[in-house]
Amino acid sequence: MIDLNIAHRGVWLWILAFVITVASAVYQRMTGPTYPVSGTAVIGGFEQPYEFLTTEEVGTDLEVTLTAPDTAVHAWVEYRRFKSHDEWQRADLVRNGDNLAAVLPQQPSAGKLMYTVYMTRGGGPAVSLTDAPVIARYKGAVPGWVLLPHILIMFAAMLVANRTGLEALDSRGRYKRKMVLTIALMFIGGFILGPIMQKFAFGAWWTGFPLGTDLTDNKTLIAMLFWLWAWFKNRKNRSSRLWICVAALVTLVIFLIPHSLLGSELDYTQ
């Protein structure tokens, strides 16, 4: 006979794990370097909202746009390649109705541009809309048959990792199968689909340790090592709930680190 208390407990733990996973995914996305830079600047006594792209696909023009119905407003963008000795270049934002837009030159995969948008109203002083230059990185197109499974499987890996950690907090918990499932999902999503995505986007299978400093690759590696150690400490008839809790906590913390931070980039100075 099924113990209803245990069944209800399991449902609530899955719900809690789901909430934790979604919250961490949203935080990671919104704080990451690929999330658009947005805000509001005060120009000539009125507020100007903006949103600037920080990522674009190779072969696609990176467009800098603003919505400014006031025809007294004029804007331009100054840009140069990131990590280069280039001089700053200028491009005016051309008006088309209520919209102002300029196109920045395309870059190869892992190439970056840094740019600042300036605006003036009625001949007044020019104001930079952002406190610091926006940095945009170019990447190759990743086909959906890789991208979607990678996202879903990594989300599932995080979900099961959180659920396993919650299960291990209870001495009555049944966590060993969930631990193995966490390792399997993380391996498929992070070490099979992840490198395929990396190859499409930046032309390299793996840029983490020992080949590079890519933070996404490295944090996946660290999480896997902790889970493998937890499996080792719980193999056969052994039981060590502590290491499962540690592995789950480490996984949660490192996956809160913004995605693509310290990712692949070209150094134009070399």
Sign of the four-CA dihedral 244, 248, 251, 254: negative
Same-domain check for residues 147 and 245 = yes
DSSP state of 193: I
Task: Encode pLDDT of 116-136 as tens digits.
Answer: 999 998 878 899 999 999 999
For the chain, how many structural domains are there in total?
Answer: 2
Q: Residue 32 class from Cβ within 10 Å (0-12 exposed, 13-18 middle, 19+ buried)? A: middle
The candidate with the shortest Cα–Cα distance to 25, out of 134, 159, 146, is 159
Same-domain check for residues 146 and 135 = no
Q: What integer is the mean pLDDT of 187-213?
A: 86
For residue 73, give the CATH number of its domain: 2.60.40.10
Range of the domain at 74: 37-139
- Assigned domain for 198 exists: yes
**Predicted TM-score of the model (pTM):** 0.84
Share of the chain above pLDDT 90, in %: 60
pLDDT category, 267, cuts 50, 70, 90? confident
pLDDT category, 33, cuts 50, 70, 90? confident
- Assigned domain for 78 exists: yes
Same-domain check for residues 131 and 27 = no
Which of 121, 139, 157 terminates a domain? The answer is: 139
Same-domain check for residues 146 and 45 = no
